Amino acid sequence: MNKIPEGYKQTEIGVIPSDWEKKLMDEVSISINSGKSKTKSELGGNFPIYGSTGIIGFSSKFDYEGDRLLIARVGANAGTVNLVDYKYCVSDNTLMVRLQKEIDFLFIFYFLNYSNLNKLIFGSGQPLITGTQLKNLPIPLPPTKSEQTAIATALNDTDNFITQLEKLIAKKRNIKQGAMQELLKPKDGWEVRKLGELFELNPSKPLIKQEEIVIFLGMEDISEEGRITNQHLILFSQIKKGLTFFKKNDVIVAKITPCFENGKGVCLDTLQTINGFGSTEFHVLRINEKSVPRFVFYHTQTQQFRKKLEPEMTGTAGQKRVPSKSIVNYQVSVPPLQEQTRIAQILSDMDAEIEALEKKLDKYKMIKQGMMENLLTGKIRLV
């Protein structure tokens, strides 16, 4: 049995500081009620109306004047918590919580997110959380509002930093899209060619030894930003028949909807093995001596490429695919190899910057999770 640290006590909700209390949500609230079952026109007026589908979580830059929490009561969003600090209307699919003045509402907001209200949800057909369940939810509560506020402020500052990073990443992605359009735009002296002149489409598989280690890539292992997110090392003998074959430095493009429209595809210059296999829903472009892989890859990542080929997709709804001939016949303006390499390098550098920011974002999200674990249980005190 783990020894309880000095200055802490064991409670039904875990080990908390000796001067913290275990309170029920009902004890820190003025009221916990659902909204009214009326139409939007009857309730809404000039103010927004909140139903369960309208509650999508915390918008981090928040004014401390608010005092209400909204919690989606029913449906796919059941248990999602949001904050409001302006006039609004609430449907009967939403729980509205008003907190006592001596309680920091942002502290309660973070605790509700940390405690994961999903565990209170019941019902398979229509997920549901009730006001009674919420009222009986135990909360470890610091003794003073100032300590609650200190904890909430630290978490809010981290959220604000995360939000700024997300905005910066979105801005960098937009800048890259603009740069891609500009750099790949036809220039004097460039030759207009069919894209198919720059690659061999879906090349055949060579003889591979059974004991050779290869990479497997599923559609889920390719991001919509054109990167490999996971590489699975596997023996060739374990590869299922019929999977798509590719090699290092090939370019792959998703052919099925909605993966194609969403930008799924990647240049395989970072593949960890020479040979690899993947989803049957990839087209494989093996670049020839007339081009460089990343120059062709960035063409397949442009919005122009996706929009031009989308109407040419064939098949039934939900199963539409880009035909091989559409990719082969797509026209591009091609500069000399040296210029292709320069363009590819500029865009690769921008990709590397975005990827570094995304890793930083993931790091801070992990830091925030650790902060919530330590601060909301009193393992670390902010007094």
CATH code, 118: 3.90.220.20
Claim to verify: residue 294 and residue 169 sit in the same structural domain: no
| Cα dihedral sign, 30-106-61-53 | negative
pLDDT at 317 over 90: no
d(CA 290, CA 163): 43
Query: Both 44 and 74 in a single domain?
Result: yes
Higher pLDDT, 192 or 1: 192
DSSP 202: S
Q: Is residue 281 part of a domain?
A: yes
Residue 107 lies in a domain: yes
The predicted model gives 340-360 an average pLDDT of 97
pLDDT digits (tens, 9 = 90+) for 241-295: 999 999 999 999 999 999 999 999 999 999 999 999 999 999 999 999 999 999 9
- Note the pLDDT of residue 90: 63
Mean pLDDT of 5-18: 92
**Which is more confidently placed, 12 or 275?**
275
Q: Are residues 209 and 317 in the same domain?
A: yes
Q: Are residues 330 and 342 in the same domain?
A: no
Any domain includes 325: yes
Does 329 have pLDDT greater than 80?
yes
Beta bridge partners of 259: none
Averaged over 6-29, what is the pLDDT?
93
CATH number at residue 165: 1.10.287.1120
Domain check: are 150 and 98 in the same one? no
Is the per-residue pLDDT at 305 higher than 90?
A: yes
Tell me whether residue 221 is in a domain: yes
Structural domain contains residue 3? no
pTM: 0.82
Q: How confident is the model at residue 208 (pLDDT cuts 50, 70, 90)?
A: very high
Q: What is the mean pLDDT of residues 296-300?
A: 97
| Number of domains observed in the structure of the chain | 3
Q: Does 189 score more than 80 pLDDT? A: yes
Same domain, 169 and 270: no
Q: Is 80 found in the same domain as 40? A: yes
**Predicted confidence (pLDDT) at residue 78 exceeds the cutoff of 90:** no
Virtual CA dihedral for 219, 224, 230, 232, nearest 10 degrees? 20
| Burial profile 78-95: b = 16 or more Cβ within 10 angstroms, e = fewer | bbbbbbbeeebbbbebbb
3-state SS assignment for residue 222: strand
User: What local confidence, expressed as pLDDT, does residue 145 receive?
Assistant: 95
Q: What's the pLDDT at 375?
A: 96
Range of the domain at 235: 191-334
The verdict on 226 and 326 lying in the same domain is: yes
127 falls within a domain = yes
Do 222 and 305 have their domain in common?
A: yes
Whether 197 and 315 map to the same domain: the answer is: yes
pLDDT score at 37: 57
Q: What are phi and psi of 166, to 5 degrees?
A: -60, -40
pLDDT tens for 29-44 read 998 887 665 545 444 4
Last residue of a domain, one of 115, 141, 167: 141
* 60: pLDDT strictly greater than 90: no
How far is Cα 169 from Cα 186, in angstroms, rounded to an integer?
Answer: 28
Residue 15 lies in a domain: no
- Per-residue pLDDT at 39: 45
Tell me, yes or no, whether 287 and 218 share the same domain: yes
Percent of the chain residues past pLDDT 90, beyond the cut: 72
Q: Are residues 203 and 156 in the same domain?
A: no
pLDDT on residue 46 = 53
Single residue among 334, 355, 373 that ends a domain in this structure:
334
Q: What is the pLDDT of residues 123-169, one digit of tens each?
A: 767 888 888 998 999 999 999 999 999 999 999 999 999 999 999 99
d(CA 81, CA 257): 33
Q: Is 65 within a domain?
A: yes
